[in-house]
Structure 1
Amino acid sequence: MRRHTAVWTGLTTALAGALAVSPALPAQARTDTASVVRIQSGQVRGTAHTGYRAFNGIPYAAPPVGALRWAAPRPAASWTGVRDATRTASPCPQPAGEVPGGSTNEDCLYLNVTTPSKPTGLPRKPVVLWVHGGGFTTGAGSSYDPHRMAVSGDVVVVTVNYRLGTLGFLGNARLPGSGTFGLADQHAALRWVRANIGAFGGDPGNVTLAGQSAGAFSVCAQLASPSAAGLFHRAIIESGACTGRPEHPFAPSAAPRSTTDQAGVKLATRVGCGHASDVVACLRRVKVSRLLAAQAVDQQPSYGTPLLPEDPGAALAAGRIHRVPVLIGNNHDEGSAWSAGIIEAGTSITPATWPDVAKTFIPDPTRAEEVVHTYPVTETDGGPVFGAVIGDSNFACPTLRTGSLLATRTPVWRYEFADPHAPRPSPATPPFPLGATHAAELTYLFDLGGKPRDMTPDQKRLAATMIDYWIRFARTGNPNGSDTPHWRRSTVQSLAPDRIGPTYPSPSHHCALWSTMP
Structure 2
Amino acid sequence: MRGKRLLSSTLAVVALLAAAPTALAAPDPAVVRTASGPVRGTVTEHHRLFQGIPFAAPPVGERRWQPPAPATPWTEVRDATKAGSVCPQRPVFPVGGPETGAEDCLYLNVSTPAAATHRPRPVMVWIHGGGFVGGSGSEYPATQLAERGDVVVVTINYRLGALGFLSLPGLSGGGTFGLQDQQAALRWVRANARAFGGDPGNVTVFGESAGALSVCAQLTSPAARGLFDRAIAQSGPCELSWQDSEFLPDVPAGSNWTSRADADNTGTALGATLGCTGDTLACLRGTPVTKLLDSAISQPAFDTPLLPSHPVKAVESGRIARVPVMIGNTRDEHRTFAAFLPEPLSAEKYESVLRTAYGEKADLVLAKYPAAAYSRPTIAWATVTTDSVWARTRHKVTGLLARQVPTFAYEFRDRTVPPVIPGFSDMGAYHGSELPFLFPGSLPVELNAAQRALGERMQRYWANFARTGQPNGQGLPLWLPTKPAERTVQGLDIAPAGIGPVDAAADHNDAFWAGIKP
Judge same fold: TM > 0.5, yes or no: yes
Aligned to 2:281: 280
SS of the residue corresponding to residue 335 of structure 1 reads helix
Matched to 2:112, the amino acid is T
**Are 2:340 and 1:341 equivalent residues in the alignment?**
yes
In the alignment, the residues of structure 2 paired with residue 215 and residue 119 of structure 1 have an alpha-carbon distance, to the nearest angstrom, of 30
In the alignment, the residues of structure 2 paired with residue 222 and residue 493 of structure 1 have an alpha-carbon distance, to the nearest angstrom, of 25
Aligned to 1:497: 494
Displacement of 1:263 in angstroms is 1.5
Describe the shift of the 1:163–1:346 C-alpha distance in structure 2 as closer, same or farther (beyond 3 A): same
**Are 2:398 and 1:403 equivalent residues in the alignment?**
yes
Displacement of 1:252 in angstroms is 5.4
Displacement of 1:314 in angstroms is 0.3
Matched to 1:304, the amino acid is D
**Are 2:432 and 1:439 equivalent residues in the alignment?**
yes
Q: Select the structure of larger CA radius of gyration.
A: 2
Q: Give the alignment of 1:175-186 within 5 angstroms.
A: 175-186=171-182
In the alignment, the residues of structure 1 paired with residue 475 and residue 93 of structure 2 have an alpha-carbon distance, to the nearest angstrom, of 36
1:448 is matched with which residue: 441, 448, 473?
A: 441
**Are 2:373 and 1:376 equivalent residues in the alignment?**
no
Describe the shift of the 1:463–1:473 C-alpha distance in structure 2 as closer, same or farther (beyond 3 A): same
In the alignment, the residues of structure 1 paired with residue 255 and residue 465 of structure 2 have an alpha-carbon distance, to the nearest angstrom, of 26
Aligned to 1:107: 104
1:55 is matched with which residue: 44, 50, 54?
A: 50
**Are 2:451 and 1:479 equivalent residues in the alignment?**
no
Aligned to 1:68: 63
What do the CA deviations read for 1:435-456 (whole angstroms, capped 9, x no partner)? 000000001000235x774222
In the alignment, the residues of structure 2 paired with residue 445 and residue 423 of structure 1 have an alpha-carbon distance, to the nearest angstrom, of 15
What do the CA deviations read for 1:32-91 (whole angstroms, capped 9, x no partner)? 932000011110000012310000000000000111100000000001210000000100
Aligned to 1:25: none
Q: Give the alignment of 1:108-187 within 5 angstroms.
A: 108-120=105-117, 122-187=118-183
Aligned to 2:308: 309
1:365 is matched with which residue: 354, 359, 365?
A: 359
What do the CA deviations read for 1:223-271 (whole angstroms, capped 9, x no partner)? 1100100000000000001133376747853221122122112211221
Aligned to 1:193: 189
Displacement of 1:507 in angstroms is 2.8
In the alignment, the residues of structure 2 paired with residue 505 and residue 485 of structure 1 have an alpha-carbon distance, to the nearest angstrom, of 18
Displacement of 1:340 in angstroms is 4.2
SS of the residue corresponding to residue 448 of structure 1 reads coil
What do the CA deviations read for 1:190-238 (whole angstroms, capped 9, x no partner)? 0000001110000010000000000000000001100100000000000
SS of the residue corresponding to residue 72 of structure 2 reads coil
What do the CA deviations read for 1:391-431 (whole angstroms, capped 9, x no partner)? 112211101111110000000000000001012223x111x
SS of the residue corresponding to residue 241 of structure 2 reads coil
1:206 is matched with which residue: 169, 179, 202?
A: 202
SS of the residue corresponding to residue 315 of structure 1 reads helix
The one of the two structures with greater contact order (alpha-carbon pairs below 8 A, sep at least 6) is 1
Aligned to 1:22: none
Matched to 1:314, the amino acid is K
Q: TM-score, normalised by structure 1?
A: 0.88
In the alignment, the residues of structure 1 paired with residue 81 and residue 267 of structure 2 have an alpha-carbon distance, to the nearest angstrom, of 38
- Preserved CA contact (<8 Å) 1:243 1:401: no
In the alignment, the residues of structure 2 paired with residue 88 and residue 252 of structure 1 have an alpha-carbon distance, to the nearest angstrom, of 32
Describe the shift of the 1:505–1:486 C-alpha distance in structure 2 as closer, same or farther (beyond 3 A): same
SS of the residue corresponding to residue 411 of structure 2 reads strand
Aligned to 2:4: none
Q: Which moved more, 1:451-460 or 1:148-157?
A: 451-460
In the alignment, the residues of structure 1 paired with residue 43 and residue 163 of structure 2 have an alpha-carbon distance, to the nearest angstrom, of 35
Aligned to 2:273: 270
- The runs of 5 or more residues in structure 1 that have no matched partner are 1-31
In the alignment, the residues of structure 2 paired with residue 152 and residue 335 of structure 1 have an alpha-carbon distance, to the nearest angstrom, of 31
Matched to 1:185, the amino acid is D
Displacement of 1:376 in angstroms is 1.2
Displacement of 1:180 in angstroms is 0.2
Describe the shift of the 1:469–1:171 C-alpha distance in structure 2 as closer, same or farther (beyond 3 A): same
Q: Which moved more, 1:457-466 or 1:305-314?
A: 457-466
In the alignment, the residues of structure 2 paired with residue 203 and residue 289 of structure 1 have an alpha-carbon distance, to the nearest angstrom, of 40
- Preserved CA contact (<8 Å) 1:166 1:291: yes
In the alignment, the residues of structure 2 paired with residue 263 and residue 486 of structure 1 have an alpha-carbon distance, to the nearest angstrom, of 48
Q: Which moved more, 1:487-496 or 1:244-253?
A: 244-253
In the alignment, the residues of structure 2 paired with residue 192 and residue 127 of structure 1 have an alpha-carbon distance, to the nearest angstrom, of 12
* Percent of matched pairs sharing the same residue: 46
Aligned to 2:234: 238
1:259 is matched with which residue: 241, 246, 262?
A: 262
Aligned to 2:215: 219
What do the CA deviations read for 1:169-205 (whole angstroms, capped 9, x no partner)? 0021110000000000000000000001110000010
- The runs of 5 or more residues in structure 2 that have no matched partner are 1-26, 249-253, 483-487
Q: Would you identify which runs of 4 or more consecutive aligned residues in structure 1 move more than 6 Å?
A: none
Displacement of 1:468 in angstroms is 0.7
Aligned to 2:21: none
SS of the residue corresponding to residue 145 of structure 1 reads coil
In the alignment, the residues of structure 2 paired with residue 261 and residue 511 of structure 1 have an alpha-carbon distance, to the nearest angstrom, of 36
Describe the shift of the 1:212–1:356 C-alpha distance in structure 2 as closer, same or farther (beyond 3 A): same
Matched to 1:76, the amino acid is A
Aligned residues: 474
In the alignment, the residues of structure 2 paired with residue 286 and residue 227 of structure 1 have an alpha-carbon distance, to the nearest angstrom, of 30
- Preserved CA contact (<8 Å) 1:135 1:252: no
- Preserved CA contact (<8 Å) 2:46 2:114: yes
Q: Which moved more, 1:99-108 or 1:171-180?
A: 99-108
Describe the shift of the 1:452–1:460 C-alpha distance in structure 2 as closer, same or farther (beyond 3 A): farther
In the alignment, the residues of structure 1 paired with residue 283 and residue 199 of structure 2 have an alpha-carbon distance, to the nearest angstrom, of 44
What do the CA deviations read for 1:361-402 (whole angstroms, capped 9, x no partner)? x1x421222221221111743222111111112211101111
SS of the residue corresponding to residue 365 of structure 1 reads helix
Matched to 1:313, the amino acid is V
- Preserved CA contact (<8 Å) 2:323 2:405: yes
- Preserved CA contact (<8 Å) 1:354 1:372: no
- Preserved CA contact (<8 Å) 1:214 1:252: no
Matched to 2:76, the amino acid is G
Describe the shift of the 1:103–1:112 C-alpha distance in structure 2 as closer, same or farther (beyond 3 A): same
- Preserved CA contact (<8 Å) 1:216 1:236: yes
